[in-house]
Amino acid sequence: MQRGLFGWDVSVLQFLLARRGELVPISGYFDARTARALRRFQHARRLVADGVAGTQTFAALSGREPTRTKPVLVRTSTPKTQVPALLDYWSGHYAVDRRLVRAVAWMESGFQTDLTSSVGAWGVMQILPGTWSYVETVLIGRTVPRTASGNIHVGVAYLRQLLREFGGNERQALAAWYQGPTSVRKRGAIRETKIFVANVLALRSNSV
């Protein structure tokens, strides 16, 4: 993740930097100010201060010591066939439309429990370490196990929060999921975000 990118992943990065004392706007846009703050953090943690947020930088921002090897993610043995039941369980727990939750999960991972993106987003709901930390700290108030069920728990809790923030407007909440809530409020949904939202809503209509 580097300067010029735009999306909710960037918002999470900015949230983590702000939590570490850096004065950065949580806008969803990876601007020069964010890059400078990131380089300062990397320098302080003796990482390569290149202004690029990779797995080591996210590990350090999330409170884990950086390593020279790829961070180990907890992989679950939960089979893909059990994912719909877990999605339905946490949807019911948080009173979020289960079809919407299923559609987001399918769009993000195809219900794969051990999928990891190039920026470290993991699991069925493709949750970044920073998002996981935010949900645990701010929304849930306790540690969530790094399992398939925990991943879905975090994702549904975050989606419910976005629905609340946007007054139940599903399109805006989904846009915020993809692009970042602050960015959506300031700039509206960009083209890529609109495509994501349309695809999720189409999947929900087809009852994934």
pLDDT digits (tens, 9 = 90+) for 109-139: 999 998 888 778 899 999 988 889 889 988 9
Query: Among residues 84, 115, 99, which one has the least CA distance to residue 174?
Result: 99
For residue 18, the enclosing domain spans 8-61
Q: What is the CA radius of gyration of the chain?
A: 17
Taking a C-beta distance cutoff of 8 angstroms, is the pair 70, 55 a contact?
yes
Q: Is residue 96 part of a domain?
A: yes
118 and 162: one domain? Answer: yes
Give DSSP secondary structure letters for 5-24.
-BSHHHHHHHHHHHHTT---
Tell whether the model's pLDDT for residue 71 goes beyond 60.
no
40 and 127: one domain? Answer: no
157 and 87: one domain? Answer: yes
pLDDT category at 77 given cuts 50, 70, 90 is: low
Total tally of structural domains belonging to the chain? 2
Query: Among residues 55, 27, 26, which one has the least CA distance to residue 121?
Result: 55
CA distance 11 to 21: 15
Query: Among residues 202, 180, 165, which one has the least CA distance to residue 10?
Result: 180
pLDDT at residue 8, as a whole number? 65
Q: Is residue 20 part of a domain?
A: yes
Sequence-distant (≥ 6) Cβ neighbours of residue 94 within 8 angstroms: 156, 157, 160
106 and 194: one domain? Answer: yes
Q: Is residue 103 part of a domain?
A: yes
CATH number, domain containing residue 92: 1.10.530.10
190 and 98: one domain? Answer: yes
119 and 35: one domain? Answer: no
90 and 192: one domain? Answer: yes
Taking only the tens place, the pLDDT of each residue in 2-44 is 888 776 677 778 878 887 888 887 777 888 999 999 999 998 8
pLDDT at residue 66, as a whole number? 38
Q: Is residue 157 part of a domain?
A: yes
